[in-house]
Chains A and B, each alone.
Chain A
Amino acid sequence: MLDCVPAGPLEHTTGKINPAKTCQPIGAMYAALGIHRCLPHSHGSQGCCAYHRMHLTRHFRDPVMASSSSFTEGASVFGGLANLKTSVKNVFAIYDPDIIAVHTTCLSETIGDDVPNIIRQCEIPEGKYVIHVNTPSYYGSHITGFANMCKAMVSYLAQSDGTTRKEQMNVLPGFVNPGDMREIRRIVDLIGVKLILFPDTSDVLDAPITGKYEMYPEGGATIDEIKDSGNSELTLALGSFASNDAADLLQEKCGVTGIPLKLPIGLKATDAFIMAIHDWFGVPVPKSLTIERGQVIDTLIDTNFQYQGKTVAIFGDPDHVIAMTEFVITMGMIPKYVLTGTPGKQFEEEVNKMLEGAGITGSRVKAEGDLFELHQWIREEKVDLLIGTTYGKYIARAEDIPLVRFGFPILDRAVHPLMPVVGYRGCLRLIEQISNALLERRDRDAKDEDYELIL
Chain B
Amino acid sequence: MAESETNVEEMFVPYPETVKKNRKKHLVVISESAETCPQIEANTRTIPGIISQRGCAYAGCKGVVVGPIKDMVTITHGPVGCGYYSWGTRRNKARADGTTPKENIYSALCFITDMQEPDIVFGGEKKLAKMIDEVVAMFHPRAINICATCPIGLIGDDLSAVAKAAQERHGIQILAYNCEGYKGVSQSAGHHIANNNIMEKIIGTGTERKPGKHVINILGEYNIGGDGWELERILTEIGYTVNCILTGDSSYLDIKNLHLADLNLVQCHRSINYIAEMMETKYGIPWLKINFIGVEATNRSLRDMAKCFNDPELEKQTEIVIERETARIHQALEQYRKICKGKTAFAFVGGSRSHHYQYLLRDLGMEVVVAGYEFAHRDDYEGRQVIPTIKSDADSKNIPELRLTPDEKMYRQAHEYLNITKEKYDELCKEVPLNFYEGMYPNMKNGEIMVDDCNHHEIEEMVEKFHPDLIFSGVRDKYISHKMGVPSRQLHSYDYAGPYAGYNGALNFARDVSQALATPAWKMIVPPWEKPGESRSENNA
Contact = CB atoms under 8 A, between A and B. Distances in A.
Interface string B178-210: 001111111100000000000000000000000
Contacts of B138: 6, 10-12
Contacts of A64: 476
A58 B475 contact: yes
Given A18-B109, A84-B48, A48 B56 contact: yes
Given A15-B75, A67-B51, A209 B394 contact: no
Contact of B111 (A13, A17, A214): A17
Contacts of A214: 483
A71 B484 CA distance: 31
B139 interface: yes
B165 to A, nearest CB: 16
Nearest to A214: B483
A63 B475 contact: no
A74 B110 contact: no
Nearest to B19: A90
Interface stretch (A20-28, A225-233, A380-388, A429-437): A20-28
Interface string A8-43: 001111111111011101100000000000000100
- By CB atoms of chain A within 10 A, which of B50, B55, B78, B182 has the most? B182
B119 interface: yes
A13 B134 contact: yes
A233 to B, nearest CB: 38
Contacts of B47: 70, 86, 90
B49 A50 contact: no
A172 B78 CA distance: 31
Interface in A60-85: 61-76, 82-84
B466 interface: no
Given A61-B479, A110-B150, A50 B457 contact: no
Contacts of A46: 46, 52, 54-56, 186
A45 B483 contact: no
Contacts of A91: 49
Nearest to A211: B485
Contacts of B137: 11
Nearest to A82: B48
B18 to A, nearest CB: 8
Contacts of B134: 11-15
A63 B80 contact: no
A15 B483 contact: no
Contacts of B491: none
Given A84-B48, A138-B115, A14 B457 contact: no
Classify chain B's interface size.
35 or more
Nearest to B45: A72
A57 B495 CA distance: 13
B327 interface: no
Contacts of A212: 483-485
A110 B154 contact: yes
A95 interface: yes
A67 B455 CA distance: 11
Given A16-B80, A138-B116, A211-B525, A87 B48 contact: yes
Given A15-B114, A46-B56, A76 B103 contact: no
A2 interface: yes
A88 interface: yes
A19 B114 contact: yes
Contacts of A11: 134, 137-138
A53 B521 CA distance: 26
Given A11-B134, A57-B475, A213 B114 contact: no
Classify chain A's interface size.
35 or more
B395 interface: yes
A86 B49 contact: yes
B59 interface: yes
B48 A90 contact: yes
A209 B181 contact: no
A70 B50 contact: yes
Nearest to B101: A3
B84 to A, nearest CB: 4
B106 interface: yes
Given A12-B138, A83-B48, A90-B50, A211 B526 contact: yes
Nearest to B153: A76
A54 B56 CA distance: 13
30 contacts: A4-B105, A6-B138, A10-B138, A11-B137, A15-B131, A17-B109, A46-B52, A50-B52, A50-B476, A51-B81, A63-B479, A68-B49, A69-B49, A70-B50, A74-B394, A75-B182, A76-B154, A87-B48, A89-B16, A94-B19, A94-B50, A106-B151, A110-B154, A136-B79, A136-B117, A137-B78, A138-B116, A138-B151, A341-B80, A391-B87
Interface of B: 14-16, 19, 45-59, 75, 78-87, 89, 102-106, 108-117, 119-120, 127, 130-131, 134, 137-139, 149-151, 153-155, 180-187, 394-395, 398, 456-457, 460, 474-476, 478-480, 482-485, 525-526
Given A47-B58, A93-B14, 20 more contacts: A2-B109, A4-B104, A11-B138, A14-B113, A16-B110, A17-B111, A19-B112, A45-B150, A53-B476, A61-B479, A65-B51, A68-B52, A70-B48, A72-B184, A73-B184, A84-B48, A87-B48, A90-B49, A107-B150, A394-B108
